Structure 1
Amino acid sequence: MFLTNQDVVELTEWRRGLHRNPEISGEEASTAETVQTLLASAGADRIVAGLGGHGVAGIFEGHQPGPTVMFRAELDALPIEEISEAPHRSSIPGKAHLCGHDGHMAILAALARGLGRQRPQRGRAILLFQPAEETGAGAAAVVADPKFREITPDFVFALHNLPGMKFGKVALIEGPVSCASRGMRIVLTGKTAHASMPETGLSPVNAVAHLMPMLTGLGSGSVMDESFAMVTVTHARIGEPAFGIAPAHGEIWATLRTLTDAGMDDLVAKAEHLVNDAAEANSLTVEISYNDIFPHCENAPEAVSHLRRALDAEGVPHDRGNLPMRPSEDFGHLGANAPAAMFFLGAGEQHAALHNPDYDFPDDLIGIGARVFMRTLRDLLG
């Protein structure tokens, strides 16, 4: 193990400090400063800040030329109130690290300490702390940032803790590992009327009532199938809260989800066809927009093979688990630039679920995740 007992104590407290001071997507300025301080104290050869917003990359140069290997963690917390009696619980009302990104950052902080003491034999290691994963905007912004060209990787790796799976066990597969998803906002507009004479207006009521079950009905298959599709209506609104007005405005928000990006293109076309037909049938105008767009996440066989060797060498049990998974991850944007792989690290079968108000990252995972990443790094770069 490349970490000392003192390292473990200090990294645990560092993680808990992040947990006390969460910042949500796009607001991670103080978290980024904390990361920069950590990287500087670990002896990073160079630090690139302001990547795609508040992103930070620590660069550790090898002794000889070679490939660039990147490891990614996320900076952002969630806009959810934490319910906890832990001394390190969130100090910010309505915001909390309830997905474990604080723990993922601590794992990369552990790598930074190890690399500061022993540089790679060749190539360079990049520790990327990415902003705005929860909204799907962060990885895309990082990749689009001109500064990313300085650190373009030859391999990129990530992990995510996973409650509901045995503690310390890993789920890993080749191919699609998490779904593509996007939020679809549908706005239908007609004409108001007096509630006693609704026939003189153009109401979206029938269109909204028709579309909600029709959209969810586009779902098909299981996540194990290439044809998997799911539509979840998450919000709907009609008119204003008044008894005297027949409405003119209707909205539906729905999350579209597919196993692959190609499947998403097909699902979007079907959903838009339904919406446009309903608008036309009810003489309404319609606007469709998309938010929180996540590509599917694809694990490259070559990258997976490196992780499997590391897992075996470190004695970490692994299988396919329940992969692929329905939730989305914007790590897919990074995978479009290099062979990439993400694995899922069990947080315990009875552990509180991700995004639950009583979730907290298990500190004992820091060492396991760091060992696997460091072994992967040493196998590639020496």
Structure 2
Amino acid sequence: MNDKQPNADGGATALQQAQLIEAIVEAGPVMARLRRDLHARPELCYEEVLTAELVAGRLTDWGIPVHRGLGQTGVVGIVRAGTSNRAIGLRADMDALPMQEQNTFPHASRHPGKMHACGHDGHTAMLLAAAQHLARERNFDGTVYLIFQPAEEGGGGGAAMIRDGLFERFPMEAVYGMHNWPGLAAGQFAMSPGPVMASYSTFRIVIRGKGCHAALPHLGLDPVPVAAQMIMAFQTILTRNKKPLDAAVLSVTNVHAGEATNVVPDTCELTGTVRTFSTRVLDLVEQRMREVAQHTCQAFGIECEFEFIRTYPPTVNHQAPAELARRVMGGIVGEANVLDQEPAMTAEDFAFMLEAVPGCYGFIGNGLGDHRAVGHGAGPCTLHNASYDFNDEILPLGATYWVRLAEACLAPS
């Protein structure tokens, strides 16, 4: 993901030498217990009731006003200091994935079929740790909105909070997000302006032919060879229609047709995904897919249904916020430990917030997996893997970053 290879030893040294806030370091064990409690009771998108209760309860205990219900289960905390009308937002996601955890350590999921396999438990804990410090010290001039978002994993919780008035009720000049990244050493960050994650769209195509006996294909209209032609033609959109320097991925991931070996089926259904780094390229891909599908079917005398659903837009960092965030990261771990973020074809619904307000999305190293306790699963410590676990050692680093970022953005004039 980076222009430099992650270095475990270098990252560990960076973590040891990082300029962390001492009070946050001292609260680290408490935050780790909170994080593990969240990990043990994961909740899926729009079901984050217990998580939201915990978040709202902690914020209230620290004297932070709380607003609830944006995006159904979202929570927004407000920390004000000084007299300035300026404001920024810091966002963490709260939901888990519909996966069965393979880990057996004590804080493994107690909810069958649900798991914090993407580190949202850690994201929530880091922002809570930062919230506690911001409320206690208030070493800034303005307002920090603490955005605890539901339903990032395919539920569009960021868009739901925006529809419920997030930016109208809590006006802010910039919004910031952060995700842990396995393989990037603990003690390192990654940040770049421009696109860092792709759009996520799905498609469904139903090719309607006419079934018949497989020994008498001339009596029917076979949708299967039409589907084969269509699948191959789709790839020419990427190689012959878009500019070679514009990145895009088009994957047909499901092909469903027929039930018997001696029957030509009536229909063949294709589904899959498209990912791009710009809406312009996405527009082109969708238009050409529709044309290819319809005209291929027309050439064979077969009907076609084409459905294209845009789920998440690309995540595109704004220049000035990204540069500021990178400077803050460098001030904590040193410039050598802030790598350039290579764009990934994964998607992130923080993209909706960046479409509405300037801001940026950064990455914090989660290490190489050796932080996991005895009892972890046999798989690697990668995102969306049943053996994943968040690295509690980076909680103070992430919380320190949030605090220093808020102080830098809202420095007294």
Tell me whether the two structures share a fold, i.e. TM-score over 0.5.
yes
Correspondence list, 1:52-201, <5 A:
52-135=71-154, 137-201=156-220
Please list the CA deviations of residues 213-233 of structure 1 after superposition, one character each: whole Å capped at 9, or x if unmatched. 332444459xxx751111122
* TM-fit CA distance, 1:373: 1.2
* TM-fit CA distance, 1:363: 0.8
Determine if contact 1:178/1:326 at 8 Å carries over to the other structure. yes
State the alpha-carbon separation in 2 of the partners of residues 365 and 283 from structure 1. Answer: 60
In the alignment, is residue 211 of structure 1 matched against residue 230 of structure 2?
Answer: yes
State the alpha-carbon separation in 1 of the partners of residues 169 and 113 from structure 2. Answer: 37
Paired position in structure 1 for 2:382: 353
Paired position in structure 1 for 2:399: 370
* TM-fit CA distance, 1:360: 0.7
Determine if contact 2:45/2:155 at 8 Å carries over to the other structure. no
* TM-fit CA distance, 1:340: 0.7
State the alpha-carbon separation in 1 of the partners of residues 50 and 262 from structure 2. Answer: 49
Q: CA RMSD in A?
A: 2.3
Determine if contact 1:64/1:123 at 8 Å carries over to the other structure. yes
Determine if contact 2:25/2:396 at 8 Å carries over to the other structure. no
User: Could you tell me which amino acid in structure 1 is paired with residue 294 of structure 2?
Assistant: N
Paired position in structure 1 for 2:38: 18
User: Could you tell me which amino acid in structure 2 is paired with residue 10 of structure 1?
Assistant: V
Paired position in structure 1 for 2:304: 286
TM-score (norm 2): 0.85
Residues 335 and 270 of structure 1: CA distance in aligned 2, closer, same or farther (over 3 Å): same
Residues 34 and 350 of structure 1: CA distance in aligned 2, closer, same or farther (over 3 Å): closer
In the alignment, is residue 230 of structure 1 matched against residue 230 of structure 2?
Answer: no
State the alpha-carbon separation in 2 of the partners of residues 369 and 151 from structure 1. Answer: 24
User: Could you tell me which amino acid in structure 1 is paired with residue 384 of structure 2?
Assistant: H
Residues 290 and 349 of structure 1: CA distance in aligned 2, closer, same or farther (over 3 Å): same
Residues 155 and 148 of structure 1: CA distance in aligned 2, closer, same or farther (over 3 Å): closer
Paired position in structure 2 for 1:314: 332
Residues 141 and 86 of structure 1: CA distance in aligned 2, closer, same or farther (over 3 Å): same
Paired position in structure 2 for 1:43: 63
Determine if contact 1:68/1:123 at 8 Å carries over to the other structure. yes
Please list the CA deviations of residues 56-81 of structure 1 after superposition, one character each: whole Å capped at 9, or x if unmatched. 11111223132111011111111122
* TM-fit CA distance, 1:334: 0.6
State the alpha-carbon separation in 2 of the partners of residues 368 and 337 from structure 1. Answer: 28
* TM-fit CA distance, 1:4: 4.5
* TM-fit CA distance, 1:102: 0.8
* TM-fit CA distance, 1:169: 0.9
Residues 284 and 142 of structure 1: CA distance in aligned 2, closer, same or farther (over 3 Å): farther
Determine if contact 1:71/1:127 at 8 Å carries over to the other structure. yes
Determine if contact 1:216/1:233 at 8 Å carries over to the other structure. no
User: Of the candidates 307, 318, 328, which is equivalent to residue 300 of structure 1?
Assistant: 318
State the alpha-carbon separation in 1 of the partners of residues 124 and 142 from structure 2. Answer: 23
Residues 337 and 109 of structure 1: CA distance in aligned 2, closer, same or farther (over 3 Å): same
User: Could you tell me which amino acid in structure 2 is paired with residue 361 of structure 1?
Assistant: F
State the alpha-carbon separation in 2 of the partners of residues 5 and 166 from structure 1. Answer: 19
Determine if contact 2:196/2:341 at 8 Å carries over to the other structure. no
State the alpha-carbon separation in 2 of the partners of residues 220 and 55 from structure 1. Answer: 42
Please list the CA deviations of residues 174-222 of structure 1 after superposition, one character each: whole Å capped at 9, or x if unmatched. 111111221112222233334454443333211222222332444459x
* TM-fit CA distance, 1:2: 5.1
TM-score (norm 1): 0.91
Report how many aligned residue pairs link the two structures: 378
State the alpha-carbon separation in 2 of the partners of residues 279 and 220 from structure 1. Answer: 22
| Aligned residues with identical type, % of pairs | 32
Mark the runs of 5 or more structure 2 residues left unpaired by the alignment: 1-20, 371-380
SS of the residue aligned with 2:392? coil
State the alpha-carbon separation in 2 of the partners of residues 42 and 226 from structure 1. Answer: 50
User: Could you tell me which amino acid in structure 1 is paired with residue 129 of structure 2?
Assistant: A
Determine if contact 1:172/1:318 at 8 Å carries over to the other structure. no
Please list the CA deviations of residues 4-38 of structure 1 after superposition, one character each: whole Å capped at 9, or x if unmatched. 45521111111111111112223222222222222
* TM-fit CA distance, 1:133: 1.3
SS of the residue aligned with 1:364? helix
SS of the residue aligned with 2:23? coil
Determine if contact 2:117/2:383 at 8 Å carries over to the other structure. yes
Determine if contact 1:136/1:294 at 8 Å carries over to the other structure. no
Please list the CA deviations of residues 282-323 of structure 1 after superposition, one character each: whole Å capped at 9, or x if unmatched. 333322223462111111121012212211221344444451
Paired position in structure 2 for 1:325: 344
